[in-house]
Amino acid sequence: MRRCLTANLQGPMINEAQSLVIDWTLGFGNGDLPMTPLRFRPLLKRIRWGGTRLGSVLGKPIGSESDYAESWELCDHGSDQSVVDGGLWNGLTLRQLMGQHVRELCGTERRLRQFPLLVKFLDASDRLSVQVHPNDVQARFFNPHENGKTEAWVILDARPDSRLYAGLKRGVDAFRLQQHLSAGTVEECLHSYPVRAGDCIFIPAGTVHAIGEGILLAEVQQSSDLTFRLHDWDRLGADGQPRPLHIEESLACIDFDRGPVDPVVPRRLNLVSEELVASEFFTLHRHTLRDSWHAASDGRFHALLVLGGCGNLTCDDTEHSLQTGSTLLLPATCPPVIVEPRGELILLEVFLHPAGVRQPRLKRELTCFSRWS
């Protein structure tokens, strides 16, 4: 089947380099069912630094407690599985979709065995620990089934005094960091700054970081749950004991060449769209819409998160409501969609690197590995 699309296609899913004539047979085989937008039930995580904004701002079904920390929107990680909410695939987990419908869901990335991204909203009413995540090579040393964790944050809300910690100050090496860890003064080593709604920060694996109190954000990361805690601000855990630290593992994984990490400078794509991140692990585009927005498949999946405002997304005559906090996954075989904002609607679009394959940074990974082993 070959379909010609000549409508007003201005979405980033069709970029300048691609023709408006899309060969739909490129990524799909005969008999692949067009798969319409998928909505999943949020997986809510309660952690003591959480709050209530996942419910009050993002409309998640929280209970009466005040420690709702994370809403996992798209997740295929061990027993943590997003489950489709409604429609033809109702009740299937993301893992089951990857097993039974990977061609329809992932198109040109059909070789994937695990959905590669973990997408969350996170509400930090208290600050998180100072931590670092391993890269892919390091992660597999600890757990052969795990991935590294490169992540990115887009701030939705922050108090005037909210700060992020991202990267080490210039000149901080392993020896100096260890000195400050022993002296309890590690904060002096961290690059830190106030943030506000709209800021985006890209945190490659190996970057020391902490999310400060008062921040509500969307997080996109590799599918991984490997975190090494370097410092916990001298606090006690829920059981009254200090939470365990992983100093040795952290020091092995920190990229001491990284230095300070500032918010990204968005790259303007057109009147409504900006590129926030283009990495080997994922790409993030932000669309600030006041008029209808059309997009058609490019043979890959695209996730849409509503960062602000409301509206509707229509696909094959079916309407999907969009509110702040909504997440939709548009499969690779998704028919064209039209988004109609009511007022201003801010969408975060998440997709994989156009090559569909990560470019391994072998030299860097081997360097880290040998330092640590």
The answer to whether 372 and 135 are in contact (CB under 8 A) is no
In the structure encoding, which two tokens stand for residue 23, read together? 């060969």
CA 165 to chain centre: 18
Q: How far is CA 182 from CA 167, 190, 206, 230, in A?
A: 19, 15, 21, 11
Count of C-beta atoms within a 10 Å radius of residue 196: 13
* Phi, psi of 83, rounded to the nearest 5 degrees: -120, 130
Q: CA-to-CA distance for 178 and 172, rounded, in angstroms?
A: 10
Secondary structure of residue 299 in the 3-state scheme: coil
Surface-to-core class of residue 73, CB atoms within 10 Å of its CB (0-12 exposed, 13-18 middle, 19+ buried): buried
Annotated active-site residue in 163, 229, 286, 300: 229
140 in active site: no
- The tally of CA atoms less than 13 A away on the side-chain side of residue 245 is 16
Positions marked catalytic:
229
